[in-house]
Structure 1
Amino acid sequence: MLISDLRKEFYDVILHKHVLLMVAFDVDALCACKILISLFQCDSVHYTLVPVSGQQDLERAFLEHSEQIKHVVLINCGANINLLDVLQPEDDVTFFVCDSHRPIDLVNVYNDTQVKLLLDSTEQLTIPSYEDIFNDEESDSDDSGNESESSQPDKRRRLDEESIVRKLEKKRARRLWEESRQKIIFQYEEFSFYSTSAAYVIYQLAWKLSKDSNDLLWWSIIGLTDQLLSKKIDREKYFLDASELNRHVSRHNRLGQEEDATQQSVNAMKITFNPELQLALYRHWSLFDSICHSSYTACNLRLWTARGFKKLHEFLADMGMPLTQCKQKFTAMDIAYRETFCDSLQNSGKKYGLDQITVPSFYAQFGYKNKFCAFDAVHAASALLESIEKDKVGDANFLEALDALSRVHLDKLECGLEISKRQHKAIVSQIRTLLDMNHVVSAGPFLYAYIQEGTLDVKFFSKANCLALLARFTLEAFVKMSKSKKVKNLPLVMVAPLNFEQGTSLVVGVPPLMELENSPRSLFGRAFEQTAEKTGSRVLHDSFDPSIFALKTEDRSKFFDALVSLLS
């Protein structure tokens, strides 16, 4: 059941209940969780928080808590699976689902009692009609009257011919309806994509409850920014939602204009909306390293070639930036260069094909020293979620990332920034290897890349989000390096070792570069499922994103041969 009045149909219902809160492992879900927990604390709502990395975690967590809890909130998980079929809940259990994954499972859409889908009021869904998907008519009982017919064999021989014709017509109509139903469902579920950020939706609830603040607004901004950096939404969708959030920024940050600024606390948060450079972590890194490890600059300048590297030095010279300044930490640069480099970068960027080097974004500042861009916060939180440190498990990483979003745990945010730098270095190093060794190949209907076992920093790519980031970066780099125009319209499938002892690999599919920039929609979810069924490959579709799954390494060859045949 679709819900648009979040206050009346969701929050008022759970206000005095014990709630099981299950949250997926992504930054948008983290932010939505932070906002919702803040609301729960305001109203003394009892809750149990459980991070879930996939469907198996979801089933396990629900089974452990199902006897005590009758109200379950799912954030960025559950919308695109049949919850009643997967979890087998009792009739008095209600699920409230705030999930940006699309398409939504049709059983969830049309269940009016146990599944409540929390949506942005402006979202427009294309849902098949109930009559086209579900048939409530009771099947004819062919056994009725058997006793009387068996006692009168003569009547059975004289069955009415019209009755036989009616039954045949009914069977034919049923078969045609089934064929039409399968076609409609296939068209509805053919592509997977993302909708409005979960953090944005929950923030709308906080606003309607008159309990929003700058902190909640900041978390909503980070959730939206995560969708942009992960290529889950296009720029147009980002600009629309960012414009709405900017209205709240103006509303919450007018105090300094209306009153004496000295009345504000030194540590009060202030959010601003300004253009941001598409350079990863440059405020916490050197300018040179940031340019080399950012997808936009690295791909457009083709920094994997000697010619591209020479072009980078020419670019910096054109900016008037000495190499010694660029290679030291940004905060250690001479103030004259630090204050003018942004304008210089934009002016010189137009000559070098970097005309879209800036994107509107948000900044949060508290105190005199602490100023963070939403881009940096996303990189840090994402890196903490997928930290590969030996002494940490999934739940510990989740809680670490959750804490890093709070102002009181800046040390954890700084730790996340350092991990993110290592991730970016590993990604760029891997892309250089893939391009130099010609390991990105065309399989016909898609591009294919495989990361060998034993590769340096391969552990980073056993994590779904990091592998997806590598895949998108690799696709953009390959398209820029390739002379063929056809590759712009080809998606990429990337495979990386997942568990060497178990002999499994992690597979991720990303849409073509043209679609990533305009309308990110992936066909790999259904294609992967059909291929696995056809070949009998041993796969595990555990991720909430259908375009990410685990595969037995032994089955890789036959699986991809069949995938090529399916998509050709």
Structure 2
Amino acid sequence: MYLPRDQAGQLYEQLVRNQHPLSPPVLIITSLGVDALCATRILTSLMKRDFIQHKVQPVAGYSELQDAGRNFVLPMTRQRGGDGGVVVCLGAGGLVDLEEVLGLDGQSVEEGVEPEDMTDHGVEVWVIDGRRPWNLNNVFGSSTILQQTEEGAIVSKRQGVDRGRVLPHYAPGKGGIIVWDDGDIQDDMEAEREAYMALQDMPEITEEDLDIEQEDTEDEAEEDEPSSSQSRKRKASSHDSGGESDDGYDRPRQRRRSNSSMPIPSSPGGNPYSNQSVASTPPTSSQAQSPGAVIPSSPPKAPSARQLRRKLLKMRRKHETTLQSYYTLGTSTSEPVSGMLYGLASELGREDNDLLWLAIVGISSVELSPFSRSKSGRNETGRRVLDKSETMREVLRDEVRRLNPVPEDELRRSQNGDVIPMKARSPTDCSIRLSPEPRFLLIRHWSLYDSMLHSPFLSTRLHMWSDIGHKRLAKLLAKMGISLQEAGKGYMHMDMELKQSLRKRILKFAPQYNLDGLVPGEDGRRGLEGWGFVRSWGWKSTLSAVDVASVVSAILEVGADPHLPETTSPHNPSNYQPAKTYNSRIRALPTPPHSEDDSDLSAAADPDWTTHRFFAAYDALDPVSSSNTAGLSLLLSHIGTAQHLARAILRTGSALISKRQIRHLRSFRMGVVKEGPDVALFSHPGALVKLAAWVGEAVAVLESEKGRRRDLNEALVLGCLDEARGVYVVVGLGSGGAGKKIRSKAEIRERENKKKRKAADKAAKKAERARKRQERKELQRERDEANGLLNSDDEDEDESDATESEASESSDSESDADSDDESAQARKKRGHGLNRFGQAFQEVVEETGARVRIDSFEHSVVEVKKEDLAGFLEALSLRTVIG
């Protein structure tokens, strides 16, 4: 079942009304992501205000999700002695059949155990997930409630549910899966809904059923053929004997034969219920020649049962193809979970700065993810249309203005949008502000040089993996008038005049280095498009939302110990200790039947790193309004962890590019991290995904600068060796580019020359118009002097000329925009550019039987046995990995 977005508040209010002190606590199952973590913070804050008991259970993958279902969800069912309850899945479970994974379908994973009747189990599972595609059993299924119709048929029926949609009068309590719709299901999945509902009402039928039926028919025909020939022989012999007999014996026999054939007339003129047979009477000549005689046509022949079954099979194949096409589109991301829960808080009238900040951090983390690739286009009128991500940021900016009004004395100073905020307005200032944030990493806690060096956007475009890249960075700083000594200082201690003019300097020289979009431009909507969000904790600290998302993500991916970078850094030989790999510290992952389960037995004795890391990151997002300030201290202590991860990404990615270890296969590029000081760090899937995003961005820059057109070959597969377990962690990503156009060197030169020519032509036209206006003015003045008249309309005429020229220029720009819009719309198709690595991985496993573990909620992240990697990649190169 799916819940329309405008009914989320109503469902939550029903939960509040049904809760009492003896009710079981609400179980919140959340994935290990910054977005899901922020959503958990928002939901628990709402439940605390409503005095609803709840329990948070983090899960790292499908194996832990299955364990949570067995240990926590099944005991809540009425079949196991529970009273039912509510389970909320945040960022987990949207891509699989949750009833099967959680055990609510009654099917046991143990052999020999009979299925259990789970009708009316009473456990209601809310699924709030931003990953796509949905599992349609969750979206349109109506759980296990069965009812009997008047005809005696058993059908699945739920009161308050219409074809999978939850209606306003829906009454909870029976249990089932409820998917929270962000608008995509209602607007874009009507065809899938119709196909799913049609298949629910169709009987199971396959081509084999028709073949078996045809064989049975042929066998019956072969058996009837000899019996019919024998009957014909008997009839012929009886007819001969009848001819030789007397007439007295012949008439009764003919009468009996006539009576036996009476009910089956051969023409429509006879009445089958009368004692006469028109068929036995030959027509007269008058009847045959009568022009007015009407011979009615025979009724249409009814289709046979085989024809009906074949038609049913054709319809079933059509609907199955519709669903299969949806599943094979590829994976993508929709609205972040934290944004949906902030929408719930807004609908309930509970929004405040703490919840708004959590939503901003969660949405910012999704935008940093390489799995989130969205682009805007133009409509039919040539006007730019914002995509979902930009629309959400626009809404968040409006919320910041509404909940954080700017004081009158700060209003004039805030109009200068060139300086990013570095401190609060007062010791008690905890407001959220808009800021023209550059795409530099942790700029408030690093030097300008280091922040630019470790920025994925800037380091890949300047080729920081080589000495030429470092020289280009130094040259860029020199053009901007910033010395290396000044850039090496902490940003907080830089010269104020440089900080105030930094944005203008970057905007001036960024196009020369292919750095468009490095800082927000000045031509956006309301002048604030691309601006970021900043929050202050009094005079203790001021952080941007991107910085907070980066630090919290580092806690989840590197570790919860803030001193871990010091003990695992290769630059400190005295304290250096090889860190345990991520896979040796987590519990064993699920293994396909064809794989071997030889996980490290010592992992069972290790602590639960999933829970440890999750709650460390959870505490780092402690609300500002709380009296406990340990959350901010914990967050600041892990800034070094984020910096350590950034250094490792730059170091390892530069080694892969400079040593030419990126190989080109048929449908993607491939790289493997086998050695180096950071191998243990990148055995974590999240850290490996960030490294793959950096390498993919670098490959896209190299290809584009050579003038090659961006195509599907820019997809990247990156693996990291875990020597202790003998497996490779493999991740597959689509093309890089971060949604920004990467120009070649020739295009950059042509763009600069075009700008110069355009400026020169504009100046020449302006001078020519001024000269003509002056000539007309002089000529009119001479005429007026000769005639003794004065004309005061000269200025109006000049203004009309200028207006006409501006109108012509605007019409030319609109025509160009229309042509660009037509080409963009022609390229835009559903599923174009989506990540299909998840489907490709599963197809390769089924084909080759490679020992692969698919456990991550991101289906494009898998583990492959060390000996099977070569064959796995070879088979994968023959698959389509980008939609």
TM-score, normalisation: structure 1: 0.90
Distance of aligned partners of 1:271 and 1:526 in 2 relative to their CA distance in 1, 3 Å threshold: same
**1:481 to partner: Cα distance:** 2.3
Contact 2:29 2:57 in 1 (8 A): yes
2:57 and 2:204 map into 1 onto residues whose CA distance is 43
Structure 2 match to 1:117: 179
1:234 aligned to 2:374?
Answer: yes
Q: Aligned AA for 1:119?
A: D
**1:352 to partner: Cα distance:** 2.4
1:230 and 1:84 map into 2 onto residues whose CA distance is 29
- Residue number among 489, 494, 512 corresponding to 2:718 in the alignment: 494
Residue correspondence of structure 1 range 295-306 to structure 2 within 5 A:
295-306=456-467
| Per-residue deviation, residues 2-45 of structure 1 (Å, max 9, x unmatched) | 21211112452356252100011111101111110100110011
- Residue number among 421, 425, 428 corresponding to 2:647 in the alignment: 425
- Residue number among 520, 545, 548 corresponding to 1:374 in the alignment: 545
1:118 and 1:524 map into 2 onto residues whose CA distance is 26
| Per-residue deviation, residues 437-496 of structure 1 (Å, max 9, x unmatched) | 2111110111111111x3211122112221111111101112222436255532111111
Structure 1: which 5+ residue stretches go unaligned? 141-153
TM-score, normalisation: structure 2: 0.59
**1:136 to partner: Cα distance:** 2.5
1:485 aligned to 2:708?
Answer: yes
1:514 and 1:340 map into 2 onto residues whose CA distance is 28
Distance of aligned partners of 1:181 and 1:416 in 2 relative to their CA distance in 1, 3 Å threshold: farther
**1:265 to partner: Cα distance:** 8.1
Structure 1 match to 2:58: 51
SS of structure 2 residue aligned to 1:494: strand
Quote the RMSD (CA, aligned, Å).
Answer: 3.0
Residue correspondence of structure 1 range 262-301 to structure 2 within 5 A:
266-301=427-462
Structure 1 match to 2:688: 467
1:534 aligned to 2:847?
Answer: yes
Distance of aligned partners of 1:417 and 1:164 in 2 relative to their CA distance in 1, 3 Å threshold: farther
Distance of aligned partners of 1:84 and 1:249 in 2 relative to their CA distance in 1, 3 Å threshold: same
Distance of aligned partners of 1:120 and 1:139 in 2 relative to their CA distance in 1, 3 Å threshold: closer
Distance of aligned partners of 1:259 and 1:302 in 2 relative to their CA distance in 1, 3 Å threshold: closer
1:99 and 1:509 map into 2 onto residues whose CA distance is 21
Percent of counterpart pairs with the same letter? 26
- Residue number among 609, 615, 620 corresponding to 1:399 in the alignment: 615
1:80 aligned to 2:95?
Answer: yes
Structure 2: which 5+ residue stretches go unaligned? 77-83, 105-117, 144-175, 206-219, 226-300, 376-386, 412-424, 520-529, 565-579, 581-606, 742-831
| Per-residue deviation, residues 105-127 of structure 1 (Å, max 9, x unmatched) | 01011123511111335774325
1:185 aligned to 2:330?
Answer: no
Count of residues paired in the alignment: 550
| Per-residue deviation, residues 161-187 of structure 1 (Å, max 9, x unmatched) | xx9984433443354345334432331
Contact 2:373 2:738 in 1 (8 A): no
Distance of aligned partners of 1:488 and 1:476 in 2 relative to their CA distance in 1, 3 Å threshold: farther
- Residue number among 27, 32, 40 corresponding to 1:25 in the alignment: 32
Structure 1 match to 2:491: 330
1:360 aligned to 2:531?
Answer: yes
- Residue number among 86, 90, 108 corresponding to 1:71 in the alignment: 86
State which drifts further: 538-547 or 10-19.
10-19
Structure 2 match to 1:434: 656
State which drifts further: 81-90 or 442-451.
81-90
2:390 and 2:503 map into 1 onto residues whose CA distance is 22
1:257 and 1:127 map into 2 onto residues whose CA distance is 51
1:418 and 1:208 map into 2 onto residues whose CA distance is 38
1:249 aligned to 2:400?
Answer: yes
1:172 and 1:517 map into 2 onto residues whose CA distance is 51
Distance of aligned partners of 1:355 and 1:219 in 2 relative to their CA distance in 1, 3 Å threshold: same
| Per-residue deviation, residues 56-103 of structure 1 (Å, max 9, x unmatched) | 111111211121363100001111111112222143211101100011
Contact 2:727 2:863 in 1 (8 A): yes
Contact 2:426 2:539 in 1 (8 A): no
Structure 2 match to 1:416: 638
| Per-residue deviation, residues 473-523 of structure 1 (Å, max 9, x unmatched) | 1011122224362555321111112x4333221111111126855986211
- Residue number among 539, 543, 561 corresponding to 2:874 in the alignment: 561
State which drifts further: 408-417 or 483-492.
483-492
Distance of aligned partners of 1:122 and 1:61 in 2 relative to their CA distance in 1, 3 Å threshold: closer
2:465 and 2:725 map into 1 onto residues whose CA distance is 34
1:237 and 1:138 map into 2 onto residues whose CA distance is 40
1:522 and 1:9 map into 2 onto residues whose CA distance is 33
1:157 and 1:515 map into 2 onto residues whose CA distance is 71
2:362 and 2:702 map into 1 onto residues whose CA distance is 32
SS of structure 2 residue aligned to 1:565: coil
| Per-residue deviation, residues 137-161 of structure 1 (Å, max 9, x unmatched) | 4569xxxxxxxxxxxxx999779xx
Contact 2:202 2:316 in 1 (8 A): no
